Amino acid sequence: MLLMTVLSGLVVACGARTGTPISSAQHPSTNSGQRLLGKPAFHVIAYVTEASVVEIIPFDKLTHINYAFLIPNADGTFARLANSWKLKKIVAQAHDNGVKVLISVGGWGWDKEFETLAADPQARARCVQGLVDLLAEYNLDGVDMDWEYPDPGQSSRNFLALMSELRAALQETPRLGLGVHLVLTSGKPLLPPEQARSLVDESGAFLKPDELVTRLDTLDLAEIEAEWRAQIEKFIHITGRKPTHLDSHHHSSYFRADMFGKMLELAREYDCAIRLPRADGLPPEVADSTREFTPRLLAEFIPRTPQTFIASFYDEDATQANLLKIIENLADGVSELMSHPGYADADLLDVQSGSIYARQRESELTILTAPEVRDAIQRKGIELITFRDL
């Protein structure tokens, strides 16, 4: 089915293309006011379905394609996209012809699902993140939200909340990678204390790093696995997506060979990358054994991981001069630069439950987004990616 139409409905488009930058001559933007050679100055949109024959789509006469339909579920997830290979083929040919491709969500008959998901903040977040992931996976240009129809009153307010959150996500973080920072050394476990007895102190809190190392031989691997799995599942429940990678607080997943092996098993199960393990900077009691077992386990599991891990941009060394030096001397291949940018809010500054590394996060954020740093990255031809791209 190929249906030519005028622009209608509410469309949210990405603020910028992702992937390899190309010039406007190679991929002109129909939103920029530029006129495409041989095409009208207004928008010509075709609805294309999974049953469409790609070879007969008149790309030379179109400015946009809405690929229909992605079906929403009431919990914010989506039904499996039919013939996904065809969408990839359409996107490739459309972009070669300067045509943008959007995913159409819903259509007639899915009002009940839209009503339910839009009224639930967690379902909205799951929906938004699912769409962000889909746009990144298929290199799409935006979303055509085809809810037929929001009702006056609360329904319309929920629709506005959904669209506002989607617009913010697409404009601010179109390809944000989110991983799980596996924890054993801060706060309290997600499991009840009686299910994590070897991991907690008398108050039910996780052991501090020094005490964890002292009691390393007594830690129950089954409890570690159950707690880490609970953390990953909690992440999936909140975000509606699998993590792009796993790493660990205080690098505790590298303290014991069987703990690192369990992390690798979880990464394989959840189909995600991991941070490259390192022995430098670990407690001296475990550093030597970590150097011995990490190459063996990496060879056994072959996880997706960067080739280099850079930990020297931290605390007093988190300066613009040091960051520019790191960029200048960056080796070929894929490197991870560990950083902690953020805002020091009340929770982070709380003396009981916050972090000793709080104000430094705002300083890092300023440095990481400085024009001089961006210029250095562009000058060196460095491509910024996420763990999803490994």
How far apart, in whole angstroms, are the C-alpha atoms of residue 49 and residue 66? 8
Report helix angle 121-138 to 154-172, nearest 10. Answer: 40
Q: Are the C-beta atoms of residues 260 and 182 closer than 8 Å to each other?
A: no
What pLDDT, in 10s, does the model give residues 84-122?
Answer: 999 999 999 999 998 999 999 999 999 999 999 999 988
The average pLDDT across 185-207 equals: 94
**Mean pLDDT lowest for which of 29-33, 154-158, 335-339?**
29-33
Higher pLDDT, 137 or 204: 204
Q: Is the pTM of this model over 0.85?
A: no
- Single-letter amino acid code for the residue at 47: Y
What pLDDT, in 10s, does the model give residues 260-311?
Answer: 999 999 999 999 999 999 888 899 999 999 999 999 999 999 999 999 999 9
How far apart, in whole angstroms, are the C-alpha atoms of residue 384 and residue 334? 10
Q: Are the C-beta atoms of residues 138 and 102 closer than 8 Å to each other?
A: no
Q: Tell me the two tokens of residue 279.
A: 């022995």
Q: Which long-range contacts (CB under 8 A, 24 or more apart) does 106-109 make?
A: 106/69, 106/70, 106/71, 106/72, 106/145, 106/146, 106/147, 106/148, 107/68, 107/69, 107/71, 107/146, 107/148, 108/148, 109/148
Catalogue all structural domains in the chain, each as residue range(s) with its CATH number.
Answer: 2-172 (3.20.20.80), 177-305 (3.20.20.370), 306-390 (no CATH)
Evaluate if residue 173 carries a pLDDT over 60.
yes
User: Considering only CA atoms, which of 127, 73, 138, 74 is closest in space to residue 100?
Assistant: 138
pLDDT category at 352 given cuts 50, 70, 90 is: low
What CA dihedral angle connects 236, 242, 244 and 248, to 10 degrees? Answer: 40
| Pairing relationship of beta strands 245-248 and 2-5 according to DSSP bridges | unpaired
Task: Give the containing element (helix H, strand E) for 103.
Answer: strand 100-106
Q: What are phi and psi of 364, to 5 degrees?
A: -60, -45
Higher pLDDT, 157 or 7: 157
pLDDT computed for residue 174 by the predictor: 58
What pLDDT, in 10s, does the model give residues 239-248?
Answer: 767 899 999 9
How far apart, in whole angstroms, are the C-alpha atoms of residue 196 and residue 203? 12
Residue found by looking up tokens 């011995």 in the block: 292
Q: Is 361 helix (H, G, I), strand (E, B) or coil?
A: helix
Contacts of 340 (CB under 8 A, 6+ apart): 314, 357, 360, 361, 364
pLDDT computed for residue 132 by the predictor: 86
Cα 293 → chain centroid: 30
Residue found by looking up tokens 């139409």 in the block: 5
pLDDT computed for residue 351 by the predictor: 59
DSSP per-residue string spanning 145-160: EE-S-PPTTHHHHHHH
- Single-letter amino acid code for the residue at 170: L
pLDDT category at 5 given cuts 50, 70, 90 is: very low
Q: Are the C-beta atoms of residues 382 and 327 closer than 8 Å to each other?
A: yes
Looking at the DSSP assignment, which residues form a beta bridge with residue 336?
309
Contacts of 355 (CB under 8 A, 6+ apart): 348
Q: What are phi and psi of 43, to 5 degrees?
A: -85, 130
Whole-number mean pLDDT of the chain?
86
